[in-house]
Amino acid sequence: MSFNIKQHIEKKFREATSSGELFDTFQQALKLKLKDIDLYKILLGNMALNADEIKMFTEKLCREFEDLKYDLYMWSANILENTLSEENLEAAFAYYLKASELDRTNHLPFMSILKMYNVDFDLPPKEKIISIIENAINEVKIKSHLFREMADFYGYIGDEIKKRKCLTLAAQYKRRENMS
């Protein structure tokens, strides 16, 4: 495959102003079996795409490239989370969950779930977030970061006791992690 073809596809993904043009270029990239996460991040970040199209491209890419699923879910969740609609927040939450299921030891999807909480709308529902985090905390490798984010979350929802407890745990785990 010529480097120029890949450059051409990347340029189209960056500059296209219609979803139709993006779809055609996407089909071309798949036909060439281009397996490049950075290339597809450019596609998914194109402002011409609406949320449904982002989800469609993400799901298709996940079927085509199993080993890119984690990165695709995290990237698409981040994009959808920033569109600020209830439906898109739910989709972002679902993608963060899928990413967390692919790598239970990675703290990043769980931190993203905690950060996306909207207190005004209780989205995603805080009880659901707490349950997910509590079920995952023992599997997460770098616990200090997650406990620090949990402290922020509890502070945000007004639970100062749990906030202080999480800050203490974050400090304890940070010391352990630094000694390892």
The residues spanned by each domain of the chain are 103-180
35-67 in b/e burial notation, b at 16+ Cβ within 10 A? eeeeebbbbbebeebebebbbebbeebbeebee
CA 54/CA 37 separation, integer angstroms: 15
User: Is pLDDT of 103 > 80?
Assistant: yes
- Residue in 41, 9, 7, 11 with CA at minimum distance from that of residue 25: 9
Question: Is pLDDT above 80 for 1?
Answer: no
User: Can you give the pTM of this predicted structure?
Assistant: 0.93
Please name the residues in contact with 90: beta carbons below 8 A apart, sequence gap of 6 or more.
123, 124
- Mind listing the pLDDT tens digit for each residue in 10-67? 999 999 999 999 999 999 999 999 999 999 999 999 999 999 999 999 999 999 999 9
Asked whether the beta carbons of 81 and 92 are under 8 A apart, the reply is yes
∠ CA 73-78-79, nearest 5°, is 100
Q: Inform me whether the pLDDT recorded for 97 exceeds 80.
A: yes
pLDDT band at 122 (very low <50, low <70, confident <90, very high): confident
